[in-house]
Amino acid sequence: MDPVNITDTVVTAPPEPSRVTLKRQPMDKAAFELRLADVSQGRARRADAGPSGRTVFVQERERTDTAVQQPNAKLLVVSNRVSSFDPDKPKTGGLAAALEPVVERSGAVWMGSSGTLSGTEQLAALEPHGKGQAARVDLPAAHYAGFYHGLANSTLWPAFHSLTERMTPASEEHYKSYCEINASMARTLTSLGKWDAIWVHDYHFLPLGNELRNLDNQRPIGFFLHTPWPEPDAIQQVPHHRDLMESMLAYDLIGFQTNRDLDNFLACLHFHLGLKSNSNVVISERGLTRCQKFPIGIDPKQFAEYAVESLAKHSSDISSIQGKLDGAKLAIGVDRLDYTKGIDKRIKAFDHLLADKPRSISLLQIATPSRTDIPAYSEFQHDIDSLVDEVNRKHDADDGWKPILYEKDHLPQAQLAGLYRTAHVGVVTPLRDGMNLVAKEFVAAQDPSDPGVLVLSKNAGAAEDFNENEALLVDPARPENIADAISRAAEMPCGERIERWRAMMDKLETYTIHDWSADFVRELGNSRVTVPADQFRHLGFGWINDAQMPEYETPEEYTIAVSHVQDTRWALPSNGPDYTQGGER
């Protein structure tokens, strides 16, 4: 596609109406009744796996295309990097895996660093992706290293995973660079016009919401943390932890993967800032911040389809791995090569297991190199290489059989799904993890009549979704404990495997990645807005909050209906006008 000038492509926001001029306006009754009929035909469905555990009313149509479909809202999604949409290019990492389908199926614009550095921030051409678009920004070279290597990945990442011994001391310069990059990103976002809502992702951008408020962005801004949030003593080791936490209160909604993280965050606010919460709402000088759990999911249907297709193709990679087993069972581990993922302890677990039961099982470890320009990561990669060699030597690897089949190349997602299905045991043993999508992908890819067993770290967020009656939960720091669980998994009778698998699969199907994103954006809307989208579209002005809500001349029966419509307002029927492509407003 030809490069597009961003100023030509990005939708210019309609002029903000003066709130002083709001008048009482009657509703368009015909339009409203039409909408109401739509809603009453909708299917009520229980989303127990959802964050609130409440009944969510959704329409069948939304479920089949549930990504954040919001015809009259411009949603901006921000993360450090925007993944490549080229199917031939590697795309590893949970955040990319999660956001790509969301952007593809919604009208959202996904903005993040291009990976290229420049003197000042520069925005590249927009790239269309499904219904959404990607906007890549060249960030200021002077501050990127301090931001990315210094504070984000050498300080916040280990601290958030409670691995404080892995922290390298961040300097004042690093902190300053982190703040500068956040300010720079806020300027770029603001220069693109007004957004109806902004959804910021991950630890790179803790203070971005505050920077956006400083530039007078008054619309809803939400934040989702993909990593864990640690306990007060770990966060205390992060320089300027109080300032960072205080700045986060500029967000209207803060989402966490698990109750563990949510509780830790509230405990940190209490301990370090003296702020108390009430029903997970924190009141600060700026206003109100709601904190909530949004456990990230996957698209289980798609993974199951990929897995079936991949095996039907009799791919040479899968047959070659099966050929190397020499009668042994197959276990699989898939991770970014990151010290939080517990790959070393897992390999040691196989060492234990094979000493006990020689040649009984092989581990296919797919470990794509990650953050290789950070010394802790290149050292870790080196350590894993040596450990794999050592264990393979010790257990007499030969041309026919290897204890550890180590694959560093990036594999296409469909092939990965086929490998998950081929394996008897999925070994997911991070020392700590926000969620861990691999655990969920492994489950989704299984053969329902002969499923594999998931061995899961009790410190992965996924262990809050899958209990001990479903996965085999282990202590990731204890190789012997992991070895026992793998051994039990490999020998588990088919009936028990099916029972455990079915329970996990039901959960995955109940709360998918599309439910996750729709839920977050809906809740973000709720955190500031009380007027259903149907009405503000009709009224022709922007979002308003409770205090500014005009009084409608609404018959009583409509008042009841409004509460239902509000539940679905972020997912209006797709035949409405598409404001993402240019405004009706």
Binding region for ligand GDG (CB under 6 A): 92-95, 97-98, 226-227, 296, 334, 336, 366, 368, 410-413, 416, 433-438, 441
CB 363 within 8 A of CB 404: yes
3-state DSSP helix/strand/coil percent for the chain, to nearest 5?
45, 15, 40
Q: At what angle do helices 479-490 and 343-356 cross, to 10 degrees?
A: 60
Nearest CB to ligand GDG, comparing residues 94 and 220? 94
CB 299 within 8 A of CB 513: yes
| Catalytically annotated residues | 226, 433
Angle value at C-alpha 433, between 55 and 276, nearest 5 degrees: 60
The distance of closest approach from Cβ of residue 103 to ligand GDG in the complex, given in angstroms and rounded to an integer, is 15
Nearest CB to ligand GDG, comparing residues 183 and 508? 508
The distance of closest approach from Cβ of residue 490 to ligand GDG in the complex, given in angstroms and rounded to an integer, is 22
The distance of closest approach from Cβ of residue 416 to ligand GDG in the complex, given in angstroms and rounded to an integer, is 5
Rounded CA separation 564/532 (Å): 9
Q: Which residues of 283-299 are buried (b: 16+ CB within 10 A; e: fewer)?
A: eeeeeebbbbbbbbbbb
Nearest CB to ligand GDG, comparing residues 110 and 536? 110
CB 578 within 8 A of CB 73: no
Q: Which residue is nearest to ligand GDG (CB)?
A: 94
Residue type, 27: M
Contacts for 235 with CB less than 8 Å, ≥ 6 apart: 159, 229, 241, 245, 268, 272
Angle value at C-alpha 526, between 190 and 220, nearest 5 degrees: 10
The distance of closest approach from Cβ of residue 410 to ligand GDG in the complex, given in angstroms and rounded to an integer, is 4
The distance of closest approach from Cβ of residue 442 to ligand GDG in the complex, given in angstroms and rounded to an integer, is 9
The distance of closest approach from Cβ of residue 438 to ligand GDG in the complex, given in angstroms and rounded to an integer, is 4
Nearest CB to ligand GDG, comparing residues 247 and 457? 457
Rounded CA separation 224/91 (Å): 20
Residue 560 in tokens: 């009841």
The conformation of residue 460, written as its DSSP 8-state character, comes to B
Residue 494 in tokens: 């088919």
Helix (H) or strand (E) holding 133: strand 132-140
CB 165 within 8 A of CB 196: no
The distance of closest approach from Cβ of residue 407 to ligand GDG in the complex, given in angstroms and rounded to an integer, is 8
CA 438 centroid distance within chain: 12
Rounded CA separation 453/494 (Å): 10
Nearest CB to ligand GDG, comparing residues 435 and 539? 435
Nearest CB to ligand GDG, comparing residues 27 and 463? 463
Nearest CB to ligand GDG, comparing residues 84 and 360? 84
Distances from the Cα of 354 to the Cα of 358, 362, 374, 403, angstroms: 5, 9, 33, 8
- Token pair 């931001």 is found at 147
Rounded CA separation 395/380 (Å): 23
The distance of closest approach from Cβ of residue 264 to ligand GDG in the complex, given in angstroms and rounded to an integer, is 15
Nearest CB to ligand GDG, comparing residues 171 and 413? 413
457 DSSP β-pair partners: 474
